[in-house]
Amino acid sequence: WCVLVSKTTPTPQPGSDEINRAYEEGWVGNHALAFIGDTLSPKGEKVPELFIVELPQDEAGWKAAGDAPLSGTETTLPAPPRGVVQRRLTFTHHRAYPGLVNVPRHWVRCNPQGTQIAFLMRDDNGIVQLWLISPQGGEPRQLTHNKTDIQSAFNW
């Protein structure tokens, strides 16, 4: 059984939580996935943000269609099952350097306890740093304070 778990749209509304792409995911415990989703700023510029989807824990939750058909139609994209809940974790449009970085390419990672999600984002000086956020949301916390960009992906 295979389904799409992120809700995407080909035309996200600027300034909304809508995304047109979901990528570089990582498990958060056994029942959630964190991923980078491309939003649009109020001015229409691409801003990659961090999202999480809480996944169903039973078969019925995986097989019931949500607000659109699981397999999509000729005019709509495939949609997540009813039991999937998608939430945005970061809100960076207001920052001097908005969004998570795409270079270096990295996959978001959760600690073994499932309490912190790590990702790469620029600090106020434009330097790529490692950041943490709770899967419940809140403000991101800068973990590294390097003088030069992080150059590669990471893991716990």
State how far the Cα of 60 lies from the Cα of 108, in Å rounded to an integer. Answer: 28
- Is 6 within a domain? no
The chain-wide mean pLDDT, for the chain, equals: 96
- Is 112 within a domain? yes
State how far the Cα of 97 lies from the Cα of 131, in Å rounded to an integer. Answer: 14
- Is 32 within a domain? yes
Structure tokens given for 139: 């403000």
| pLDDT score, position 67 | 87
pTM of the model: 0.95
Let me know if 137 is exposed, middle or buried by CB neighbors in 10 A (0-12, 13-18, 19+).
Answer: middle
- Is 54 within a domain? yes
- Is 9 within a domain? no
- Is 59 within a domain? yes
State how far the Cα of 119 lies from the Cα of 100, in Å rounded to an integer. Answer: 7
Q: Tell me the residue range of the domain where 110 lies.
A: 22-142
Q: Is 59 helix (H, G, I), strand (E, B) or coil?
A: helix
58-74 average pLDDT score: 90
Domains: count for the chain? 1
- Is 152 within a domain? no
Please check the confidence at residue 1 and state whether its pLDDT lies above 80: no
Nearest CA-CA partner of 10 in 75, 55, 54: 75
How many other C-beta atoms can be found within 10 angstroms of the C-beta atom of residue 78?
15
56-85 average pLDDT score: 91
Question: One-letter amino acid identity for 92?
Answer: T
Please check the confidence at residue 156 and state whether its pLDDT lies above 90: no
- Is 4 within a domain? no
Question: One-letter amino acid identity for 25?
Answer: E
Please check the confidence at residue 31 and state whether its pLDDT lies above 80: yes
| pLDDT score, position 74 | 92
